[in-house]
Amino acid sequence: MQRYIIVGNGVAGVTAAQSIVRADPALEVHIFGAEPYPYYQRPRLWEFLAGKIEQQTLYFRPLEWYAAKGIQVHLGARVAELDPAEHRLTLADGSSISYDRLLLATGGRPFVPPFAGGDKGGVFTLRTLDDAWVIKSYARDIRSAVVIGGGLLGLEMARALLALGLRERPSARARDEGAAERLDVSVLEYEPRLLPRQLDAEGAQVLQARLEAMGLHFLTDAATETILGNERVTGVRLKDGRVVNGEMVLISTGIRSQVDLAREAGLEVNRGVIVDEQLRTSVADVYAAGDVAEFEGVVYGIIPAAMEQAQVAAANMVADGSATYSGTVPATTLKIVGIDLTCLGEATATGDEFVVLRQVDPTTGVYRRLALRDGKIVGAILLGDTRNVRPLKQLIATGRDVSAYSDRLLDESLDLKALAQ
């Protein structure tokens, strides 16, 4: 019986495993995951952090799911070495196992710039459930927090901390007054605006105003120089001399692919493990998908790409050449209750080659922007009104020429759903 092994129990790993057993139930499929938990949803970690859901609710694929699918899952099992010539893996505990086909789905880890003082107690990143537990328990004893990085994750974490403050930390005075104590949360963004990768200046302004109304503080053009404090953090000093107080610092400044295993095994690696359109790496019988993979110079770092790549990789592992990957339209959503924001494709595109349509209503906090190139929609920002996310995603993916409608694309009366079909 052929043995297929997947390294990594994240969304790419479980999606691939599911596709492989579906394509050929006779195959022996194993997943090795370094974390001790069955597959859980990273995007919901902020809800766990905010005290809105329990750990159990995060488990999207409980252990029974693997058993029912005939997938052998090994948790708390870190793969330490890959020998592609021998088709063999060695685990951290010294045991080893051979494979016929292998998928690397080792994901990413937070990137932390080398700030002075970054090793102090109270400085954290959020990627795993274990990270969330540590942050949650530390946050119980503090009154202020700083989030470095005003991207999607940074904003979601900041909002979660605010909610955590409200729910779980009622002070004596606040209890007396029937209110809960708030954590004071500041977000530092290096660029002049929030979500610099997803929003243009106008959209960022609308968003910032809405988040400020929720109680968050923002500093833009904020380049962190030093994390202050002795053993425990007390704040952050910026390069321009500003000081922001905070008894906890959460760093959210991007991710790096987990490529160590691949690099040490001699696979071609750049930012991620380089894959072709069949998701094959540079060595035979080894594929890669998800945050660890780099396709045409891009590490996507988002779930839709991880799932699409995993499906294509799985199909080719079972029948080489049976599926092709041609990239994913970037689609990101800010998951903050009360704020609907979705950014699609080349959301912030500007320049002579683009036609840009905008609609802004600061009173309702609605901002919509479309970018067109050669009569085709290539990017969209939908803030405060995400009704047309699906048709716009379709129009971007299919590259349909909409030049005949270009002056009406943001009109309520135009049926984008019909146009996308």
Ligand X SMILES: Cc1cc2nc3c(=O)[nH]c(=O)nc-3n(C[C@H](O)[C@H](O)[C@H](O)COP(=O)(O)OP(=O)(O)OC[C@H]3O[C@@H](n4cnc5c(N)ncnc54)[C@H](O)[C@@H]3O)c2cc1C
Q: Which residues of the shown chain bind ligand X in the complex (CB under 6 A)?
A: 7-13, 32-35, 42-43, 45, 78-79, 105-108, 126-127, 153, 258, 261, 290-292, 301-304, 306, 335
Q: Which amino acid is at 5?
A: I
| Least distance CB 79 / ligand X (angstroms) | 4
> Which residue's structure tokens are 């270009």?
406
| Least distance CB 252 / ligand X (angstroms) | 9
| Least distance CB 35 / ligand X (angstroms) | 4
Q: Which amino acid is at 202?
A: E
| Least distance CB 291 / ligand X (angstroms) | 4
SS3 90: strand
Residues 6+ positions from 316 with CB-CB distance below 8 Å? 278, 279, 280, 287, 322, 323
Q: Which of 317, 327, 274 is nearest to 103 (CA)?
A: 317
Q: Which CB sits closer to ligand X, 232 or 271?
A: 271
Q: How many CA atoms lie within 13 A of 26 on its CB side?
A: 3
Q: Which CB sits closer to ligand X, 3 or 242?
A: 3
Q: Which CB sits closer to ligand X, 40 or 367?
A: 40
Q: Which CB sits closer to ligand X, 12 or 378?
A: 12
Q: How far apart are CA 40 and CA 51, in angstroms?
A: 16
Q: Which CB sits closer to ligand X, 128 or 224?
A: 128
Residue-by-residue DSSP string for 101-154? EEEE---EEE-----BTTTSBTEE--SSHHHHHHHHHHHTT-SEEEEE--SHHH
| Least distance CB 359 / ligand X (angstroms) | 25
Give, for 366, the enclosing helix (H) or strand (E): strand 366-373
| Least distance CB 114 / ligand X (angstroms) | 21
Specify the DSSP class assigned to residue 177: T
Q: Which CB sits closer to ligand X, 104 or 409?
A: 104
Residue 120: count of CB within 10 angstroms of its CB: 16
| Least distance CB 329 / ligand X (angstroms) | 12
Q: Which CB sits closer to ligand X, 229 or 290?
A: 290
SS3 95: coil
